[in-house]
Amino acid sequence: MNEIVKSRYDFVFFFDVKDGNPNGDPDQVNLPRADAEDQHGLVTDVCIKRKVRNYVMLEKELKPPFDIFIRQEQILNEIIDATPGEDIKQRQGKLCEQYFDIRTFGAVLSTGDKGAGTVRGPVQFTFARSEDRIYQAEHSITRCAVTTKEDAKKQESREYASTFGRKSTVPYALYRMHGFISAVDAKKTGFNEDDLKLLWKSLINAFENDRAAARGEMNPRKLVIFNHNHHLGNELSGRLFDRVKVTKNAKLPRGIGDYTITLDKNNLNSGIKVQEWPDEKVF
């Protein structure tokens, strides 16, 4: 039987974007998300979780125990109400067994007639934040086709008929995200070693099958994993994250080569094992 994850993990995930919009803000006419105070770029945890879910859907084809609960066209209340069990705990157990994203990220299951309470997932992401301020570039775009006869008549008088739109991009940015895996919560949801390997694989491949003209070029650059040998951990996560440093090698970075990412392993607690992708295999 596949073992439940029994030790704590903390990790740092770096990815970058070139000439694309990694996460548009609907409250700001879909401009790339940015911190209003310092203009550092942001990508929400929800955005990255969606990409993980999408990858798992493609690889596992929605077959239990790797089905995905939060996805388009899913009627959640019907699933919750149809889940067998005499009490909330039993229904939660059945849902965790079937759905990878509930085992991993948790879910609010208190809707519907029966309800199944709330599941706290062992895996949590922070917002990803760019290493430097981003420039929210806006581009005017045109097309020669029209959608209605009225538009076609309006354009008959113009030599080069076209309609106009807008596209927003980040010229280049390196983003950093922190993540946490709780062994205590893993025991509650059944998050196991196979799930863990699939999580690493999903993060690294999150952008490969999610290409879109609006997102430009997005690529994973580095994954640093701190594996504790104790279920509660051997060191504070913040101190571990401080060991991963980024040095800027150019005044205006335009590629991953303009940054150097280093990990300080000096005096690291002996109860912590470190893995670094792409230097080491993590799944």
Confidence of residue 278 (pLDDT cuts 50, 70, 90): very high
- Whether the per-residue pLDDT at 160 is higher than 60: the answer is no
Highest mean pLDDT among 107-111, 138-142, 256-260: 256-260
Give tens-digit pLDDT for 39-70: 999 999 999 999 999 999 999 999 999 999 99
Q: Tell me, what's the pLDDT at 149?
A: 84
Share of the chain above pLDDT 90, in %: 86
| Residue 13 CB partners (closer than 8 Å, separation 6+) | 128, 176, 177, 178, 179, 203, 220, 222, 223
* The Cα angle at residue 12 between residues 37 and 56, in degrees rounded to 5: 105
| Residue 251 CB partners (closer than 8 Å, separation 6+) | none
Q: Tell me, what's the pLDDT at 112?
A: 79
**What size, in residues, is the chain?**
283
Mean pLDDT score, 206-225? 95
Q: Among 34-38, 81-85, 179-183, 205-209, where is mean pLDDT lowest?
A: 81-85
Question: Is the distance from CB of 33 to CB of 44 less than 8 angstroms?
Answer: yes
Closest CA to 80 of 61, 98, 60, 104: 98
Confidence of residue 111 (pLDDT cuts 50, 70, 90): confident
- Whether the per-residue pLDDT at 225 is higher than 60: the answer is yes
At 74, list the tokens.
Answer: 């899913």
What distance in Å separates the CA atoms of residue 252 and residue 235, rounded to the nearest whole number? 35
Mean pLDDT score, 236-254? 97
**What is the overall mean pLDDT for the chain?**
94
Q: Tell me, what's the pLDDT at 178?
A: 98
- pLDDT: which is higher, 142 or 100: 100
Q: Tell me, what's the pLDDT at 226?
A: 98
Question: Is the distance from CB of 275 to CB of 225 less than 8 angstroms?
Answer: yes
Residue 95: phi and psi, rounded to 5, are -70, -40
Q: Tell me, what's the pLDDT at 161?
A: 54
What DSSP designation does 28 have? G
- Whether the per-residue pLDDT at 142 is higher than 90: the answer is no
pTM beyond 0.75? yes
- Stated as kind and residue range, the H or E segment containing 176 is strand 163-181
- pLDDT: which is higher, 30 or 146: 30
Q: Tell me, what's the pLDDT at 163?
A: 63
Burial 128-154 (b: 16+ CB within 10 A, else e): bbbbbebebeeeeeeeeeeeeeeeeee
- Whether the per-residue pLDDT at 166 is higher than 90: the answer is no
Mean pLDDT score, 138-163? 74
Question: Is the distance from CB of 158 to CB of 66 less than 8 angstroms?
Answer: no
What distance in Å separates the CA atoms of residue 12 and residue 179, rounded to the nearest whole number? 6
Mean pLDDT score, 93-103? 97
Q: Tell me, what's the pLDDT at 152?
A: 76
Mean pLDDT score, 165-184? 96
Q: Tell me, what's the pLDDT at 141?
A: 87
